[in-house]
Amino acid sequence: MRLFVQILTVLVFFVTVAHGNEPTPVMLQTHLQPPYQVMDSSVLRGRTPQMVQCVFDQLNRPYVIAIAPRKRNRELVKQNRIDGFFLSIPDIDLDETSIPTEPLALERWKVFRLKETQGSGELSLDQIGAVLGANEEIWLKRHGPNLHATIPNVKSLAKLLATGRISAALADEEVFLNASRAIGLNEDDLESTFVRYVPLVAYFSKMFIKNNPDFISQFNKALATCARDFRDATQMERQQLLKRAQSILAQYENNIGTVEKTQRGWHIRKKKLHQADADWKEAIARGRQTSLMSDILANKGSAFLRTLVESSQGINEIFLTDKEGYNIAMNVPTSDYWQGDEDAFMALSSGQISYISQILFDHSTHAFQVQVSLPIRNQKSSQLDGMLTVGFDVDKIFSKIDFLSNP
């Protein structure tokens, strides 16, 4: 199967080059990782390959993909023998020779154990199995080299856990459960502990980027439209975040007061709002700051929001809007000035009591966020006066790596 894919890749390469005017195809490699990436009749399918195709369609660049083990892909990109590969965790070792993109996927890592062997207390690293060359193995090695069992593939990992050969397995939730079903291991027989949310990126060699200096920025720009739906937070996580956001809203109202008080002392003429939003977006794209941004950041409400963020674990963004959806306070500049066309504001305007987003990659904070938005209503009329949105960094706020203890 693998040989066929590689031969097919070479044929595509020569056909593409034969057309003459098109640029040389970008040479990529990846690995199979059901259900994200699977081989179907010699064609690589799945969410991630579909996303990569979307990106290259937007770039109007030809590309080819070969399949190889993850460990080999890492070495090939280090040696400049391929242009790039996916999927990888952000890796300081790779950063020396290659450049990462923004995330293509988000994994939910868990430690799995059999219920009948589930004990209290912490696990030591030498009790946890991981797939050889996988992102989980790389991460475990950072916490203690050579203190864990490495398994050839995820199906073997599930089998060893099922037979008691290893005490626990670290893997992406969806990948491991898919492998468990394939070997007949029932999900009801498993106990799991959430570890962390993990972004997965593509890496391109510095040699390739030297010859294509605008490629990463163009790739990320296309990715912003191609990579939209990552995953939902669990119901328990959503409830936790909602309570945190409600507490923050109460603190704001107790210390700063109403939306009206936040706005007092500055204003912008209504007819200029549309242009202000356009100027705001352009400034964000250029990494600059408009005078309006500076005015908002300098007000008392924004100063208080910055204090909240600095003193709160896992919060990286808070902003407040007026009744029309325009920002009036924020800890950092948001990607838009006007939030009125966003799902959150429209939901709250329709009477919804809260709005909780999917887990999304936030380009202003460069982190995966869940945004919780709450309405601020006039105490007399109950009309919407504004909206408070809190952005939670899902990895920082939910990460639980203290289950590990060195033997």
pLDDT digits (tens, 9 = 90+) for 227-265: 876 788 889 999 999 999 999 999 988 887 766 666 654
| Residues 62, 116 within the same domain | no
Cβ 317 vs Cβ 331: under 8 Å: yes
Residue 18 pLDDT greater than 70, yes or no = no
Q: Which structural domain, as residue segments, surrounds residue 279?
A: 235-397
| Residues 176, 28 within the same domain | no
| Residues 249, 384 within the same domain | yes
Task: Note the pLDDT of residue 339.
Answer: 95
| Residues 275, 383 within the same domain | yes
Task: Note the pLDDT of residue 406.
Answer: 42
Cα–Cα nearest to 105, from 122, 121, 89: 89
| Residues 71, 121 within the same domain | no
Q: Which residues contact 341 (CB under 8 A, 6 or more apart)?
A: 325
Looking at the chain, the whole-number percentage of residues with pLDDT higher than 90 is 60
Largest CA distance in the chain: 72
Q: In the chain, how many domains are there?
A: 3
The enclosing domain of 22 has a CATH number of: 3.40.190.10
| Residues 329, 351 within the same domain | yes
C-alpha distances (whole Å) from 15 to each of 18, 20, 66 are 5, 10, 16
Residue 374 pLDDT greater than 50, yes or no = yes
Task: Note the pLDDT of residue 127.
Answer: 72
| Residues 14, 157 within the same domain | no
* 323 φ/ψ sector (left φ>0, alpha ψ -120 to 50, else beta): alpha
Cα angle vertex 81, ends 224, 58, to 5°?
Answer: 25
Cβ 176 vs Cβ 51: under 8 Å: no
Task: Note the pLDDT of residue 267.
Answer: 57
Residue 14 pLDDT greater than 80, yes or no = no
Task: Kindly indicate the confidence band of residue 145, based on its pLDDT and cuts at 50, 70 and 90.
Answer: low
pLDDT digits (tens, 9 = 90+) for 202-232: 999 999 999 999 999 999 999 988 987 678 8
Q: Which residues contact 129 (CB under 8 A, 6 or more apart)?
A: 148, 149, 150, 151, 157, 160, 161, 166, 168, 169, 170
Asked if the bond preceding 87 is cis, omega within 30° of 0, the reply is: yes
| Residues 101, 111 within the same domain | no
| Residues 298, 379 within the same domain | yes
| Residues 140, 92 within the same domain | no
Task: Note the pLDDT of residue 256.
Answer: 77
**Distance (Å, whole) CA 312 – CA 256:** 18
Task: Note the pLDDT of residue 17.
Answer: 41
| Residues 44, 128 within the same domain | no
Task: Kindly indicate the confidence band of residue 398, based on its pLDDT and cuts at 50, 70 and 90.
Answer: confident
Task: Note the pLDDT of residue 11.
Answer: 35
pTM: 0.78
The enclosing domain of 360 has a CATH number of: 3.30.450.20
User: How many CA atoms lie less than 13 Å away from 271 in the CB half-sphere?
Assistant: 0
| Residues 288, 374 within the same domain | yes
